[in-house]
């Protein structure tokens, strides 16, 4: 008779400790930026009035400044054989991109007050991803603004630059680069000031010389000597000059290098200041 041997599963095996569960350390910064950018853009879909109002701003500037400074085309020092509308549209592109950055800073302050920023900072995310996402979302909106501006300028104001569609959209890209980089000045201010009223007051002091102490509405040669000296160190001057040459089909020369170099230097310093201030933005002042 054969003996039956019974074994108990695991009776003679060593005790095995359960492996600890994986700890989620957050998504990659690229994923964070993508998700937060789509979150900001969703507001334009939910309320299209925001996009419509933002598109009317550049159009209003084009109409007002086009009428006020139209006689500038006959002034001494103005480029020969150039209509003022061809001179003005690239400048409006650049100033629109700059002003859109102010909306980025204002929206950021409002989110700090609402408490959503505190919730973001409690998550395992890189603080800079929130700022970059806000900037990218507003750059997307700005690109729609500028495209609408170019379309209306062509249909209603006879804007037909010699550079054609390629030169015009290259100028649009230059406006986004320069305006987006300079806009980080406002984002850095927002991260430290954290009050809409104070932010708007400081932004006015910064925006006014950037816009008017440049070649936006008049050639630099026609400015007073002291204002001409300010315009020569203003990155907006080089950005507008590059955009203007692109739309006119002319060589950009060193203006593009100067515009991008100065803008990149500004954005590097501004990003560092913005992130350092944003880390302390858990509670609004």
Interval 77-129: pLDDT, tens: 677 778 888 899 999 999 888 888 777 888 888 888 887 887 887 788 888 88
- pTM as predicted: 0.80
DSSP string, 57-99: HHHHHHHHHHHHSGGGGGSTTSPTT--HHHHHHHHHHHHHHHH
d(CA 108, CA 253): 37
Return the structure tokens found at 183: 């806009």
Residues whose CB is less than 8 angstroms from the CB of residue 185 and which lie 6 or more positions away in sequence, other chains included: 101, 206, 266, 270
Query: What Rg do the C-alpha atoms of the chain give, in angstroms?
Result: 26
From residue 226, give the alpha-carbon distance in Å to each of 11, 51, 213, 230, 231.
93, 39, 10, 7, 9
User: Among residues 158, 137, 168, 159, which one has the least CA distance to residue 42?
Assistant: 137
Q: Render pLDDT for 212-259 as a digit per residue (tens, 0 to 9).
A: 888 888 888 878 888 888 888 888 899 999 999 999 888 888 888 888
Say how many C-beta atoms besides its own lie within 10 A of residue 151's C-beta.
11
State the pLDDT at residue 82.
Answer: 81
> What is the distance of C-alpha 116 from the center of its chain?
21
State the pLDDT at residue 240.
Answer: 92
Query: Rounded mean pLDDT of 264-272?
Result: 90
d(CA 143, CA 176): 7
Domain edges within the chain? 29-39+84-278
């Amino acid at each position: 008779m054969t003996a039956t041997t019974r074994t108990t599963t695991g009776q003679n095996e060593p005790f095995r400790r359960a492996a600890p569960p994986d700890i989620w350390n957050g998504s990659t910064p690229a994923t964070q930026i993508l998700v937060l950018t789509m979150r900001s853009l969703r507001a334009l879909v939910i309320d299209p009035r925001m996009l419509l109002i933002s598109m009317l701003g550049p159009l209003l500037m084009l109409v007002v400044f086009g009428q006020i400074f139209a006689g500038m085309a006959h002034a001494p020092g103005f480029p020969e054989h150039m209509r003022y509308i061809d001179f003005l549209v690239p400048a409006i592109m650049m100033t629109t991109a700059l002003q859109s950055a102010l909306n980025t800073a204002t929206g950021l302050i409002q989110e700090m007050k609402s408490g959503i920023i505190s919730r973001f900072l409690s998550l395992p995310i890189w603080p800079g991803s929130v700022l970059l996402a806000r900037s990218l979302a507003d750059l997307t909106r700005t690109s729609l603004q500028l495209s609408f501006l170019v379309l209306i300028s062509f249909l209603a104001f006879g804007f037909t630059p010699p550079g054609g569609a390629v030169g015009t959209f290259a100028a649009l890209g230059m406006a986004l680069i320069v305006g987006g980089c300079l806009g980080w000045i406002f984002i850095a201010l927002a991260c430290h000031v954290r009050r809409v009223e104070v932010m708007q007051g400081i932004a006015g002091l910064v925006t006014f010389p950037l816009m008017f102490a440049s070649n936006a509405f008049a050639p630099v040669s026609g400015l007073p000597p002291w204002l001409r000296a300010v315009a020569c160190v203003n990155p907006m001057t080089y950005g507008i000059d590059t955009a203007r040459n692109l739309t006119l089909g002319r060589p950009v020369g060193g203006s593009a290098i100067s515009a991008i170099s100065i803008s990149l230097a500004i954005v590097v310093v501004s990003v560092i200041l913005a992130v350092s201030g944003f880390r302390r933005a858990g509670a609004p002042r």
